[in-house]
């Protein structure tokens, strides 16, 4: 019994989700991590920076309070920022330190 040509009207009428993709569900369960790339971090830091800024002034961004659980290294960052986040990738850590910033290590995983 095929689902092509002669069986197609049956599929359309009685099985509309026949070719639907099923999303993988992790056996660990729980919520997916809320991630943020450096590109979005720079946009957030640009909005939070003070008007009178010296070259050594770091912008403090608490991503944990904003609801993000992981920081990834996509994009680039030019502002020196001090970031508090539960976990971050090695590339994100390296790029932030090259820009003159820091990642707070309070319970952070790299």
pLDDT tens per residue across span 39-80: 999 999 888 887 776 666 788 999 989 989 899 999 999 889
Residue 3 included in any domain: no
Neighbour-count burial for 8-42, b at 16+ CB within 10 Å, e otherwise: eeeeeeeeeeeeeeeeeeeeeeeeeeeebebebbb
pTM of the model: 0.65
* Percentage with pLDDT > 70 across the chain: 84
Domain encompassing residue 70: 35-104
Residue 58 included in any domain: yes
Domain count, the chain: 1
Residue 18 included in any domain: no
């Amino acid at each position: 019994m095929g689902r092509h040509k002669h069986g197609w009207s049956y599929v359309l009428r009685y099985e509309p989700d026949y070719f639907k993709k099923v999303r993988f569900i992790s056996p660990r369960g729980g919520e997916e991590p809320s991630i943020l790339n450096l590109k979005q971090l720079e946009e957030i830091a640009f909005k939070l920076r003070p008007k009178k800024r010296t070259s050594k002034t770091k912008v403090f961004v608490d991503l944990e309070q904003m609801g993000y659980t992981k920081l990834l290294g996509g994009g680039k960052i030019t502002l020196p920022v001090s970031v508090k986040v539960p976990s971050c990738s090695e590339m994100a850590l390296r790029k932030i330190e090259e820009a003159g910033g820091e990642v707070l290590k309070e319970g952070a995983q790299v």
